[in-house]
Amino acid sequence: MGLYARMAALFFVLTGLLMVVGYAIGLYFGDPLGFMLLGLGFAGVLNFVTYYWSDSIVVKMSGARIIQQSDNPALFAVVQEVANKAGIPMPRVGIVNSPQPNAFATGRGPQKAVVVATSSIIQTLTPTELEAVIGHEIGHVVHRDVLTSSVAATIAGVISYIGNIALYSMMFGGLGGSGNNRQGGNPILFVAAIILVPLGATFVRLGISRGLEYNADEYGAKLTQNPGALASALQKISAKAQTRGMPAKGGNSPGGPSPATASLWIVNPFRGSAMLELFSTHPSTQHRVERLRKIGLQMGVYVQ
């Protein structure tokens, strides 16, 4: 099964999980449509706003500042070259002051794109590695991955939202504070559905996020014709992230990026425990490098 087919299957599973949780709630409270419409409306509006203004929202959340060509001519030159290869307008360029090399792209399409890199990325990566990383980020722009992520987040958000409403409604006596709306559904199955189904939806959404990263890796490797450069860049960035996680906003680092931006970076910049890896938005660097080796074989290029 190809990557796009797998992602379509994941969206199908997400939709199925939404129907399951709505059905379970309907059995217990007798109003599945009401719960689904309420959750859909809330999550839909929230994610539409996030998607439509993603460029400005994410830039602010990441702690980046938009720069001019004179501020960093080398980075601008690479972004311009890769954008020309991809056939898209020159994106805006942003910088996050951090000793950890990393990068991300946002914006709802090529006309509103922003490519952001950390201040140390040029000193850490070779020119070909930097070009490959920017190629990966341009891949997110070309494929409008912000839209895909927003749709996935909307469906998963609806599932969690109506599950939480149902759980609190049950805890406080049902809809409207009384049990009159209950239709005699099995309470054990009901509780299991509203707890386990949202958890399953989260894993599916993370699967979609990982699929987008694989897709952008392949695009960047083929656009720059250098899968080896992207593989070595991922290894360097991942090693830096493991030894020196990027300080997150809050606590002792009020000026750092928000952890909510973790899924956007080419490598998750925040260190976490082994348990948190289960909920990672990115495939492991080892798996990404192995896949780039296979792509290199297809291209006739050797990848170490």
Residues 128 and 158 in one domain: no
147 confidence band (pLDDT: 50, 70, 90): confident
68 confidence band (pLDDT: 50, 70, 90): very high
Which domain does 104 fall in, by range? 54-145+209-299
| Residues in contact with 242: Cβ distance below 8 Å, sequence separation at least 6, in sequence order | 271
Residues 74-127 pLDDT 10s: 999 999 999 999 999 999 999 999 999 999 999 888 999 999 999 999 999 999
**Rounded to 5°, angle at Cα 12 from 10 and 17:** 95
Known catalytic residue at 218: no
Residues 25 and 141 in one domain: no
Residues 293 and 159 in one domain: no
Domain contains 234 = yes
Domain contains 201 = no
What percentage of residues in the chain have a pLDDT greater than 90? 41
Residues 121 and 215 in one domain: yes
Higher pLDDT, 16 or 71: 71
Residues 156 and 287 in one domain: no
Residues 119 and 218 in one domain: yes
* CATH code at position 100: 3.30.2010.10
What local confidence, expressed as pLDDT, does residue 189 receive? 62
Encoded tokens for 248: 């997150």
- In 3D space, the residue among 117, 23, 124, 45 whose CA is nearest the CA of residue 75 turns out to be 117
φ, ψ for residue 92 (rounded to 5)?
Answer: -70, 155
Distance, CA of 145 to CA of 131 (rounded, Å) = 20
54 confidence band (pLDDT: 50, 70, 90): confident
Mean pLDDT, residues 128-140 = 97
What local confidence, expressed as pLDDT, does residue 190 receive? 66
Mean pLDDT, residues 43-71 = 83
Domain count for the chain, please give it: 2
Residues 19 and 115 in one domain: no
Residues 131 and 218 in one domain: yes
Of these residues, 129, 131, 137, 218, which one is catalytic? Answer: 137
Residue 34, number of CB atoms within 10 A of its CB: 17
Residues 163-191 pLDDT 10s: 776 667 666 655 444 444 455 455 666 66
Residues 131 and 228 in one domain: yes
Domain contains 233 = yes
Determine if the pTM surpasses 0.85: no
Distance, CA of 56 to CA of 248 (rounded, Å) = 19
User: In this predicted structure, which of 19-33, 60-74, 180-194, 259-273 has the lowest mean pLDDT?
Assistant: 180-194
Domain contains 198 = no
Residues 234 and 168 in one domain: no
Residues 48 and 58 in one domain: no
Encoded tokens for 65: 């500042």
Domain contains 89 = yes
